[in-house]
Chains A and B, each alone.
Chain A
Amino acid sequence: MSRPPAVEKARPDERAGGGGVESYFDTFKRRFRGGELGSLPVALGLVVVWLIFESLNENFLSPRNLSNLSVDIVGVGLISIGVVFVLLLGEIDLSVGSVSGLAAAAFAVLNVNQGMAEGPALLLAILCGTAVGAVQGFFFAKVGVPAFVVTLAGLLGWNGLMLYILGTSGTINLDDKGLLAGLTNFYFNDVAAAYGLAALGTAGYFLASYQDARRRRAAGVPSRPLSEIIVRTAVLAAITLAAAYVLNQFLGLPLALLIFLVILVGLDFVLRRTSYGRMIFALGGSVETARRTGLNVDLVRISVFMVSGTMAAMGGLFLASRVTSASQTSGSGNLLMDAIAAAVIGGTSMFGGRGRTWSALLGVLVIQSIASGVALMGIQTAVQFMITGGVLLIAVVIDSLSRRAQKSHGRV
């Protein structure tokens, strides 16, 4: 045939992706126009919420209030991380509130009523959440019941189980000097702890980015320019050091916050840097594609519900720790809605396949800030619900619009 062979090299400037800084910014621009806003809207929203409440009440941004906020977010935040995993599949877990209550009750019964040591009781309570997730995941993945229905049954069923094991006692008070209570009332008073964590996080981020950019340059693929790495690191340093400063003005770094951040970073790594995480995203994009590619769809689905159950249990234990008791109202109220709303407000898509664990942190910060601000001003909770509902609506609208932008962008 007379056509030139396809192996002929494209000109360097036409290479797919190209190299260097320009194409890096080009990708960024295209992503942005393609509707991938990431955490930008929620970060801006958080600043707005803080400025509004600070202008209404100067105690809002006080070290005491912010420090309390940083502990208050942990329970819901942990549950919300699990919700992010499930949302990435494009599914929903309505049982997380009930599971968190069940775990708290299980711990209380084992520790207080049965006299088991706190450590093993804590572990068993968490594993209880894992097991619940495995059961729900089985019915979803293997039996084919929609996740919505399975976890709705779970919402009722696990709540019933919690009431059953609490028995007639109703409320079980926990040891307020024990291990569980310590989860939320222990602070690293030494100022070095908070500053050290901030410095460590920032340095770690810089080194990882720098190393990545160097490997990319060596391999001849587009890399993040050093100037941008420096700017990003500086922003991160400013935020973390400011947070450390504020926390040190009160009692220092809360243990709860440290645990939350470690889990957050760890699971973010799992999602974005491992094959397992990639499988979760693939399933959220197209189950059929994942199946045809030979991925073990059922196993991934079950495991994700196990993650969700485990995180719900952990969150429930932190919530119990905060009030040093487990009661019939554990895991009820707005908890479920807050956990799901936090993930969505934080930028994780309801449609599956897009999101990060960090959205749990950002979203729960927004929700708890509103709750805390409203409480400080002594307004009715009715107002809090309306504001949070409005914020959630905005988040879902952004999600839907960005999805549409992505679908239409560039498609012929």
Chain B
Amino acid sequence: MSAPPLLALHGIFKRFGAVQALADVELEIHAGEVVALVGDNGAGKSTLVKVISGVAPADAGAVEWEGRSVQITRPHEARDLGIATVFQDLALCDNLDVVGNLFLGREIRRFGVLDEVEMERLTLGLLDTLAIRMPSVRLPVASLSGGQRQTVAISRSLLGEPKLLLLDEPTAALGIEQTAQVLDLVEQLRERGHGVLLISHNMGDVKAVADWIAVLRLGRNNGFFDVTTTSHEQIISSITGATDNAVTRRRAYEREVEL
């Protein structure tokens, strides 16, 4: 085996009251790889993202980061490891401007005072590299369009070069051109050796950029596939559960062979 995975989850459980959102979930993400996480609505995808990002820590289970066992119980612990997240609901502060949102919780200070000039300069630079056009970075994000808000959330996650990026349906509110940009971005990140977990309902997007596809069904693993050797039908059926048993049985075997 080569280097240990960037992130490895073992036996993750998470319960919300009566709902067992995640049960015995396993997941591995290697540096330089894009793992797509797919599953029906309510399968537990967003919950898994919240577990990894420290927003909703797991009830039970082990997390390994670059081969070391770690605890992620708070958002800043995940951030300190190098994990950045674009949440499904974007998690922006509507009243703050673009710069304020990008640097929230990690403001740049100069003599203890917010250095707005430097933060604005870095924001403009980042948006520029991402070829994102914004009417102004000094407008409250409430006044931006859905697509613009999504690009703000994505830009925020890229600030500070994360090692692992979690994207929870990042292209949901985007047009065709912007979606293509985000997918390009995902590929660039992979080429630069970052790990990406991409949640998407669009099989076309998933097939275009992902190396692996992990399927969640009713809070449990329901298959881990190599994109190049798996048919569309196979993935769909494990999402919907049509081949529940067969896939579950094959999963462990496939992982051993292919990893």
Contacts and interface: CB of A to CB of B under 8 A. Distances in A.
Interface of A: 1, 3, 5-10, 14-17, 23, 26-27, 30-31, 34, 36, 212, 215-216, 219-222, 272-275, 278, 281-282, 284-286, 288-295, 352-354, 406-407, 409-412
B140 interface: yes
B132 interface: yes
A407 B142 contact: yes
Interface residues of B, number: 57
A297 to B, nearest CB: 11
B134 interface: yes
B145 A30 contact: no
A266 to B, nearest CB: 13
A285 B138 contact: no
Interface string B100-142: 1000110101001110011011011001111111111111101
Contacts of A354: 95
B146 interface: yes
A406 B113 contact: no
A273 B74 CA distance: 27
Given A10-B128, A286-B91, A17 B138 contact: yes
Given A6-B131, A30-B135, A292-B55, A410 B95 contact: no
Given A5-B188, A285-B94, 18 more contacts: A1-B187, A6-B184, A7-B188, A9-B128, A16-B136, A17-B120, A17-B137, A36-B140, A221-B120, A274-B113, A275-B107, A278-B96, A282-B100, A289-B104, A294-B54, A407-B142, A411-B142, A412-B146
Given A292-B87, A411-B146, A273 B135 contact: no
A410 B138 contact: no
A397 to B, nearest CB: 19
B117 A410 contact: no
A29 to B, nearest CB: 10
B128 A27 contact: no
Contacts of A5: 184, 188
A292 B88 CA distance: 13
A27 B124 contact: no
Given A6-B185, A295-B105, A412 B133 contact: no
A3 B113 contact: no
A293 B139 contact: no
A213 to B, nearest CB: 10
B53 interface: yes
| 6 closest A-B pairs by CB | A285-B93, A353-B95, A294-B76, A294-B75, A16-B127, A285-B95
A6 B257 CA distance: 35
Contacts of A289: 91-93, 104
A6 B95 contact: no
Task: Find the residue from B53, B79, B143, B208 having the highest chain A CB count within 10 A.
Answer: B143
A412 B147 contact: yes
B177 to A, nearest CB: 10
Contacts of A9: 128-129, 131
Given A284-B95, A412-B147, A27 B136 contact: yes
A23 B140 CA distance: 16
A84 to B, nearest CB: 14
B71 interface: no
Contacts of B147: 412
Nearest to B144: A410
B143 A410 contact: yes
Nearest to B127: A16
Contacts of B74: 294
B240 interface: no
Interface in B151-203: 180-181, 184-185, 187-188
A219 B120 CA distance: 9
B161 to A, nearest CB: 15
21 contacts: A1-B208, A7-B129, A10-B128, A15-B127, A16-B127, A30-B135, A34-B140, A216-B117, A220-B121, A272-B114, A273-B114, A275-B109, A281-B93, A282-B104, A290-B104, A292-B53, A292-B75, A292-B85, A293-B104, A352-B95, A411-B142
Interface string B53-84: 11100000000000000000011100100000
A57 to B, nearest CB: 41
